[in-house]
Structure 1
Amino acid sequence: MTEIMVACDDVSRTYGTGPSAVVAVHGTTCTVPAGARIAIAGPSGSGKSTLLHLMAALERPTRGKVTWPGLPVTADTRAHLIGVVFQSPSLVPALNVAENTGLPLVIAGVDRSEVARRVAEALELVDVAELAAKLPEEISGGQAQRVAVARVLARRPRLVLADEPTGQLDHAAGRRLLDALLAATDHVQAALVVTTHDNAVADRLDTHWTMREGRLFTAVVQS
């Protein structure tokens, strides 16, 4: 039986109370199996980013339940196996590419030699190894986003959640980033969920979910 990395059971997320309350996600039930490649498409404000944040445990549902059957029981150990790629790379300006990539591992207390090994491997996976000594201000936006992906991959995640990762990039840079993200998650055998409003991005993934006004409407597996 295929392991389930994350499962949402009748999950809703509401912001505010009373007449001003906004329901960002309505009663959504879905699962992400191990090795899945899922695109959540939809316009801005459709709830796809909120759903991704619920899957990542960055937010708690107002109703329903999110579980991670295929990941460790404790929140601390599970957090290390869920990698989140945001729309902005958010690199630390004073740290070079290698240091930015290894920062979460250093904070987690990973041995220095192991940090160096994982950083080198992750940068190689996303094809920016030659930038290891560069500062963020010395690289392009597309390269910075690939470093952000490497930072996630260095943690050896089993589930990667990417929130509009190509949203701030031009078409060519976005394509290169997606190439790297797909190849790298294949290499580490992680499930991948990508939110996007770009059909060209969605078409690169096997399974298509569509969100509109906070509702998950379709789940289509490409043949």
Structure 2
Amino acid sequence: MTLVRCVDASRTFGQGDQAVVAVHGCTCGVEPGARIAITGSSGSGKSTLLHLMAGLEAPTGGVVEWPELSDRAVERSRDIAVVFQGPSLLPALTVEENVALAAVLTGTGESEADRRAAAAMETVGVAALAGQLADTLSGGQAQRVAIARAITLRPRLVLADEPTGQLDAETGEHVLEVLLAAVHETGAALVVTTHDPVVAGRLGEHWRMDDGRLVVPAREGVL
């Protein structure tokens, strides 16, 4: 029942003397319903590991597998959603158009994409912003919209990369509540990278990246 599994997966950027190993031989897995926080300092490899899990980066060593998901990247993209740390909305589109985009890009018809977008916006409490242009939103509003977009297709796995990292404490807490409520409502597993011990404390499993090496408590690791 493992959604994503890394087996001795590594990721190196560059070649020769310029090579940088971002992730060293990582072995871990995420099961349905998991709530995992990955902590570690800046540059420790947290984001790269998340990108490997999402299929956004290909491992340069080892393998990343999705046993319970499709082998085809296009189909798998319906089951895995990513929430990024920085701005990820298209500024010239409205909130509703941004949220519906996830469904449109995976081949969903326009009317069904609009229906799914409306449901997702209602779930995260941004329905009132539907007609507003993305570039007029506050940071907290933009992250809530990004969460709505992430859950539009009711994914089985949500990967959030420092989702509160650029927000003040109060706004970040609200965004975290929205994210936790959204994955609870959809039944998705959740993996969050974070510097914030408060955020990590809200999640049941704690993993740590240390200079590109993943430390997973033995009782929590899924191989």
Question: Could you say which residue in structure 2 is the equivalent of 1:196?
Answer: 194
Q: For 1:34 and 1:103, locate their aligned partners in 2 and report how far apart those are by CA, in whole Å.
A: 25
> Does the CA-based 8 Å contact 1:47-1:214 persist in structure 2?
yes
Question: Could you say which residue in structure 2 is the equivalent of 1:86?
Answer: 84
Q: Deviation of residue 130 (structure 1)?
A: 1.0
- Please list, as runs of the form range in 1=range in 2, the aligned pairs for 1:143-222 lying within 5 A after superposition: 143-219=141-217
Q: Deviation of residue 155 (structure 1)?
A: 1.9
The farther-off stretch of 103-112 and 26-35 is: 103-112
Q: Determine which of 22, 45, 48 is the counterpart of 1:47.
A: 45
Question: Could you say which residue in structure 2 is the equivalent of 1:105?
Answer: 103
2:68 maps to 1:75: no
| One-letter code aligned to 2:35 | R
Partner-residue secondary structure (3-state), 1:211? strand
| One-letter code aligned to 1:49 | S
| One-letter code aligned to 2:74 | D
Q: For 1:57 and 1:138, locate their aligned partners in 2 and report how far apart those are by CA, in whole Å.
A: 31
Count of matched residue pairs: 219
Q: For 1:97 and 1:20, locate their aligned partners in 2 and report how far apart those are by CA, in whole Å.
A: 41
The farther-off stretch of 76-85 and 88-97 is: 88-97
> Does the CA-based 8 Å contact 1:89-1:147 persist in structure 2?
no
> Does the CA-based 8 Å contact 2:92-2:135 persist in structure 1?
no
Structure 2: any 5+ residue segments left out of the alignment?
A: none
Question: Could you say which residue in structure 2 is the equivalent of 1:63?
Answer: 61
TM-score, normalised relative to structure 1: 0.94
Q: For 1:188 and 1:109, locate their aligned partners in 2 and report how far apart those are by CA, in whole Å.
A: 21
Q: Deviation of residue 148 (structure 1)?
A: 0.7
